[in-house]
Amino acid sequence: MNHQIFAPYKLNEQLELKNRIVMAPLTRCFATEGFVPNELAIDYYAKRSSVGLIITEATVVHETGHGYPNTPGIYTGEQVEGWKKITSKVHENDGKIFLQLWHVGRVSHPIYLDGKSPVAPSAIPLSGRVPRTDDLQYGEVRELETNEVYDLIDAFVKGARNSFAAGMDGVEIHAANGYLIDQFLRQQTNQRKDEFGGSLEGRLKFVLEIVKRITDEFGGQKVGIRLSPGAYFNIEHTDGDEETFKTLLKELEGYNLAYVHTGIFDDSMSFDYLGGNSTSFLRKHFKGTVIACGSYSPQSAKEVIDTDGADLVAIGRPLIANPNYVELTKENKELIAYSEEMLGSLE
């Protein structure tokens, strides 16, 4: 008998998924000039349409939001046209696809921003080496003016509009992994004195304004959000941040969202301040659909579904190595092991 992970899942009144396996967002850095998805990306996504839901690679909503080479955008007409080719092919294969809306904030360098400094909630730089470079180090960042914060809220909303114009079935707001929205949520990175900082409510304002405006326009059933309640990447935990996430999750329940999605590389990581792993924290404090993510094997994916620890499971690197992941796991066939060399091409 087939496991329930392979059975259809009713996400909401508007969307039914053909199984509970989700393609995790995977930054592939293959956009062409103008940050348009390249032609190879059409087949790359189409080949993985057997999953219940594809979540695209993180896609930049504003020119100040780039922090990696050749990442696609969703803020120009040319980019929309590029994504249209992908959604068309995915839908031909009876797939569902959400676009992940992204701004990296301080996780950037002037080489990606025409020589300008990265922007952030507060002028608190990230330390360490810039990924995919030889020895560049993160440097100074510029604190956003209040009017610029409102401009970036507008950019996320425009990104959602452009996503639906490109034929997406929905959007996922990337509020995880130490990027811009996560920076607004954290005490370490948000030391603002205006309405977007200074208190728990202030730190929540940026993300809740984005959620409210997008759901007001398109309805919550076509909107998901990714969160990292466990600080592990590009960010540090400060005592009390867990209360911010508890409050945020309670607030999000009022928007009838499609889902909340765990942002972490390895969901076996436990955090004392969460009382367990990131997904269990989301499950405890959010009553809607939860997508678990973070180094799940076919067996651990089935287990988290069986124990009601999550409703859906997002798979990342194994789907790079195995476009037919659903079919292989359903038939208990051996998977090709992921290796770093696979990042050199889109297949």
Q: Which residues are catalytic?
A: 179
Helix, strand, coil share (%) of the chain residues, nearest 5: 40, 15, 45
Cα–Cα distances (Å) from 229 to 46, 233, 276, in that order, read 32, 11, 11
Surface-to-core class of residue 290, CB atoms within 10 Å of its CB (0-12 exposed, 13-18 middle, 19+ buried): buried
> Helix, strand or coil for residue 163?
helix
Instruction: Please state at what angle helix 146-165 crosses helix 77-92, rounded to 10 degrees.
Output: 40
β-pair type (53-60, 21-23): parallel
Helices (H) and strands (E) in the chain, counts: 10, 12
H/E segment holding residue 291:
strand 290-293
Q: Which two tokens stand for residue 344?
A: 């050199």
DSSP result, 228-262: -SS--SS----TTHHHHHHHHHHHHGGGT-SEEEE
Q: Where are the beta strands (DSSP E) in 68-204?
A: 97-102, 119-120, 142-143, 170-175
Q: Which two tokens stand for residue 43?
A: 């087949």
β-pair type (21-23, 312-315): parallel
CB of 35 closer than 8 Å to CB of 70: yes
